[in-house]
Chains A and B, each alone.
Chain A
């Protein structure tokens, strides 16, 4: 294993993580809910009266974040190497998988591990392993 020191940004990663943690903390303490993004978005596809507005507001906050960030600094570049076909396949897998497994990186990875939930620990270990294996297959076996 060799570390990519050029890409390594521990301090901004830690700062961003603290903000994410603060958001999840505020959300559970104020709204009483888990900040699990796949669950929040997925719940909109089976709308229940009176349960949709807060979900829309949370998603609006996510989509609006770059506009607020722009008030302070230029946005960091998003380098998206995947082609359109890959993005479609990836999107469907992320959508269906996160709903079937009851959570994604935010719900299981951050909130679940913060709650010391054994279920979320298994889910996080599983999707991390699948992510490592997929990147290994794509980059080193099939050599894209």
Chain B
């Protein structure tokens, strides 16, 4: 059941991205281009998503299990550290360069866009590099893999 609801959530998320215009990198860059002819539309995507999300997370925070009985897994981290800021900075540069972030990249891949395939493949390489460095860091820090 959790797998089925996961599929549905991914599908609905992807449909939202298409309707919102986020799967078109030119539109995303139009939003990020403050000094050019600026397209503020994507601010409405955030506003709409957060309006619904806020209600859901208010409910979620009061529960220890989901409606389907799965453990409620909300992030526990609190620190605003170098990793958070540096990682977000690097992510933001990549986002501005291509106009793609992970979700829209995957949806555009489903649209059959070859350039989205290139982006997603490179994204997986970047994520893989992170995993390798993390593993090495853990081994150095603790002596165990």
Chain A residues with CB under 8 Å of chain B are 1-4, 7-10, 12-35, 37-38, 41-42, 45-46, 53-55, 57-69, 75-82, 84, 86-106, 108-119, 122-124, 126-136, 138-140
| Any A CB within 8 A of the CB of B139 | no
| Any A CB within 8 A of the CB of B115 | yes
Q: Which residue of B lies closest to A60 (CB)?
A: B7
Interface flags for B70-108 (1: CB within 8 Å of A; 0: not) read 111111011110011111111111111111111101111
Within the complex, what minimum Cβ distance (angstroms) separates B103 from chain A?
4
Residues of B within 8 A of A27 (CB): 5-6, 9, 13
With A20-B49, A106-B102 already in contact, the answer to whether A118 and B80 are too (CB < 8 A) is yes
B8 close to A101 (CB less than 8 A): no
A61 close to B88 (CB less than 8 A): no
A2 close to B38 (CB less than 8 A): yes
Total B residues in contact with A, Cβ cutoff 8 Å = 117
B80 close to A119 (CB less than 8 A): yes
A80 close to B16 (CB less than 8 A): no
Interface centre among A65, A109, A127, A132 (most CB of B within 10 A): A65
30 intermolecular pairs with C-beta atoms under 8 Å apart: A1-B34, A2-B38, A17-B51, A18-B48, A20-B16, A24-B52, A25-B57, A31-B9, A31-B66, A32-B72, A37-B103, A38-B102, A42-B127, A45-B128, A59-B10, A61-B10, A65-B11, A68-B11, A80-B98, A81-B25, A87-B115, A91-B118, A95-B123, A97-B88, A103-B88, A104-B102, A122-B88, A123-B87, A131-B32, A132-B96
